[in-house]
Structure 1
Amino acid sequence: MERIKQVGDVAEIMLDYVENKKTFQTEKPLKVKTSTYTDIDQYTAEIELVFKRVPLMLGFTSELPNPGDYKTMDAVGMPVLINRDKQGKVHAFLNVCSHRGAPVAEGKGNCSRFTCKYHSWTYGSDGRLIGISESSTFGDVDKAGMGLRALPCEERGGMIFVCLTPNAPMNLDTYFQGFLEDFEALDFANWTYLGNRTIEGANWKIAFDGYLEGYHFKSLHPETIFPRTPSNTAHYEGFGPNIRIGFPQHSIAEQLKDVPREKWGEQENKGYDFVRIFFPNVSIFVAPEITQVAQLFPGPTPDKNRTVLNYLRREPIKDEADREAVEGAMNFFRDVTYEEDYVIGLQIQKGLESGAHDDLVFGRNERGNQYFHEWLNWYLEDDASAPEPKM
């Protein structure tokens, strides 16, 4: 009930924004060096001090629903294997055989063990080394100490979180500060994973900046987003380094007028929407028809990013016609994201590399972008005694 009250209070704030043509504002604009988006040293530091240290959302419960399910992926150059063992527990490993370093799995599927295709060394679903081919000629080895290298991994709120550094501490409660309750309330663990699309664009932060504000809706999305959502009208809440962005709809007053005030917190997508941001690289838009979860990965060079657009919904696929409609919807959302956001991002990258300006500026109305860059800088300083940014 506390969550419903909190969301209802935000809905009331957003109603006021629309009726009085206001938005969330902070104290002053913030300048960010353009080299933030182009410098190789900054890029390297982001990989080492951010992406390899914080919990990354790398999968979904509904993506690996059954014992034995697995998937492999590349995460900032790290080969990752995520699987569910015979008891249903989720694990994450570096997808690297302890014999000669080859991958032990490819793609996705279901199996009870993983066998390296190079020399057929075999590992259990819990990562233990359970078989060495032609072991009588190989010689004695400590099998117990030669399992797959485990990564910190935890399943919460219908999602799978992984830290890319073995043995690193990972505390999701501290990191998300109650934010995952949103996904538990949505019953996200029982949704259907529909599939994904991959697009490529400019520096990962150029792309991510676009997910953090609605200042551009009227000018960049006049026919797709703006008919539903007014420009330059958003509310920001911080949960540690993570953000919930509230976007009221033009129709918020009409949508809420007959709803009791105590139920306003139950009206997501009926007068207002949320974009949920997981620092450093995930944007989640829960829409009535289909939910898009964007995972942005830096690289392979500072001027590029690879974005995986994942799609989920509450209901399973009904039939072939439904599957065809879902495929069309995923293609539509991918095309809008790429053509309306990522294309201009590529132009921005070229502009920043020209050296035309030393700084970019985020306005008082772009608090999401400011907050993101403040947290990014906090991690890059690598000083745990420094005060954390506050919304």
Structure 2
Amino acid sequence: MDRASRIGHLGEVAETMLDYVETKSTFQGKGTMKVPSASYCDDAIYRKEIDLVFKKLPLMLAFTAEMKNPGDYKAMDAVGMPVLITRDKDGTVRAFLNVCSHRGAPVAEEGHGNCSRFVCKYHSWTYGRDGKLIGISEKQTFGDVDRAELGLRQLPCEERNGMIFVVLDPNGSIDLDAYYRGYLDDFADLGLADWHYVGNRTIFGANWKIAFDGYLEGYHFQSLHPETIFPRTPSNCTHYEGFGPSMRIGFPQHEIANLLKPLPREEWGTRENYGYDFVRILFPNVSIFVAPEITQVAQLFPGPTVGENRTVLNYLCREAPKDAEEEEKLQQMANFFRDVTYEEDYVIGMQIQKGLETGAHENLIFGKNERGNQYFHEWLNWYMAQDTTAPEPVM
């Protein structure tokens, strides 16, 4: 689908969301869905999710905006896997396990930097940005080894439309076109590759699925966010579209009629944030909310135990701040988004975790109006079961 066709389609979605507001309705699935409460508390299920989902599927681990220049790198932890992402002098992005081939120490400290080579602090073995072993300290006393076989262990990696995707299995493969089914064109339209990276914040909460469920519906806006989200966005008024296991979730604003109806119909598909908003879900663990001033991208990772998650909240904006005052405003906005996410969503998530661990109810129930949650769990169950028949798409 070309860009004009995508805008035309978004105009149709905008018209649907306008109808939701005017008729006080929402997207409806075929029925309710039960999810076992134990799936949020069982250690065996949690470990299987890491092995079959997080270590097998493409994960969006970094942004072009974080590492634009040759020599830039990012070192991070992803579900207990130390990952090093590098940009070579020709602009190529690669990913490796951040593990020295000598004795297993990291070759880069967690965080961002720029360098021409990576030196293990344990014994000073040295690697190029392409992962090749280029130096062994005091090699005359070490003995003969084949340096060509002792490079960093490479991971499948691809940069696309401002995002860097990695598969955590060194023996795996990556096919973004097959996996995202055209969805990443959204980010080309947004021009994400040219945006400015503001920074990140890390928060901690309950089981990763409890936290992620909160990003997938607007049924809770009035009761949980009466002063932050609800003044802009009505509760229980949501649109869903599926792209493989990922989703684009539409949230109309209260003022959608006043903001769209005065405009020509062909412009409605260009009015994101001015009448409606989207939350873009990248399965299994990323939620992206684009706002005019600042964008929040949440990366949710299973924590060290089944009842914990670690969420990295990344913040980007379309243009770099012009001065220190603008930079400070962006940092304040990032803190505000973080505080709302933690205090209003993650705190109740930890209370939910305690509730589920009591065994009070055998199942959770997702309503027809919570189709995004249903869709997420259908795909998660499919990957966990290693089934051959994929879930039906939401359209």
Q: Same-fold call, TM > 0.5?
A: yes
Report how far residue 2 of structure 1 moved: 0.9
1:97 aligned residue: 100
SS at match of 1:356: coil
Report how far residue 390 of structure 1 moved: 2.2
Report how far residue 388 of structure 1 moved: 3.4
> For 1:117 and 1:143, how far apart are their aligned partners in 2?
18
1:129 partnered with 2:133: yes
> For 2:373 and 2:226, how far apart are their aligned partners in 1?
22
Report how far residue 359 of structure 1 moved: 0.3
1:72 partnered with 2:75: yes
> For 1:290 and 1:241, how far apart are their aligned partners in 2?
26
Structure 2 counterpart of 1:330, from 331, 334, 356: 334
> For 1:268 and 1:328, how far apart are their aligned partners in 2?
23
Letter of the 1:40 partner, please give it: D
2:122 aligned residue: 118
1:244 partnered with 2:248: yes
> For 1:89 and 1:388, how far apart are their aligned partners in 2?
35
SS at match of 2:154: coil
Structure 1 counterpart of 2:354, from 350, 372, 391: 350
Structure 2 counterpart of 1:15, from 2, 15, 18: 18
1:178 aligned residue: 182
Letter of the 1:147 partner, please give it: G
Report how far residue 71 of structure 1 moved: 1.1
Q: What are the within-5 Å matches in structure 2 for residues 30-49 of structure 1?
A: 30-49=33-52
1:163 aligned residue: 167
Answer whether contact 1:375 1:389 (CA < 8 A) is retained: no
1:274 partnered with 2:266: no
Report how far residue 167 of structure 1 moved: 2.9
- Structure 2 stretches of 5 or more lacking a match? none
Report how far residue 326 of structure 1 moved: 1.2
> For 1:73 and 1:287, how far apart are their aligned partners in 2?
26
2:344 aligned residue: 340
Answer whether contact 1:269 1:287 (CA < 8 A) is retained: yes
1:287 partnered with 2:286: no
> For 1:386 and 1:222, how far apart are their aligned partners in 2?
41
Structure 2 counterpart of 1:362, from 366, 370, 373: 366
Answer whether contact 2:243 2:393 (CA < 8 A) is retained: no
Answer whether contact 2:94 2:157 (CA < 8 A) is retained: yes
SS at match of 1:167: coil
Report how far residue 389 of structure 1 moved: 3.5
1:263 partnered with 2:232: no
> For 2:321 and 2:293, how far apart are their aligned partners in 1?
13
Answer whether contact 2:288 2:296 (CA < 8 A) is retained: yes
RMSD: 0.7
> For 1:2 and 1:45, how far apart are their aligned partners in 2?
40
SS at match of 1:211: coil
> For 2:301 and 2:365, how far apart are their aligned partners in 1?
24
1:50 partnered with 2:53: yes
* Deviations 1:120-178, CA, capped at 9 Å, x for gaps: 00000000000000111111101001100000000001000000001312100011111
> For 1:103 and 1:17, how far apart are their aligned partners in 2?
52
Letter of the 1:5 partner, please give it: G
1:83 aligned residue: 86
Length-normalised TM-score, structure 2: 0.98
Report how far residue 108 of structure 1 moved: 1.7
> For 1:49 and 1:389, how far apart are their aligned partners in 2?
21
Letter of the 2:322 partner, please give it: K
Answer whether contact 2:222 2:234 (CA < 8 A) is retained: yes
> For 1:171 and 1:13, how far apart are their aligned partners in 2?
32
Q: Percent identity?
A: 71
* Deviations 1:224-276, CA, capped at 9 Å, x for gaps: 00000000000000000000000000000000112111111111011000000
> For 2:288 and 2:260, how far apart are their aligned partners in 1?
24
Report how far residue 387 of structure 1 moved: 3.2
Structure 2 counterpart of 1:372, from 371, 376, 389: 376
Answer whether contact 1:158 1:183 (CA < 8 A) is retained: yes
Length-normalised TM-score, structure 1: 0.99
1:194 partnered with 2:198: yes
Judge which range, 252-261 or 238-247, deviates more.
252-261
> For 2:149 and 2:296, how far apart are their aligned partners in 1?
41
Letter of the 1:280 partner, please give it: P
Letter of the 2:240 partner, please give it: Y
Paired residues, number: 390
SS at match of 1:44: helix
> For 1:101 and 1:182, how far apart are their aligned partners in 2?
40
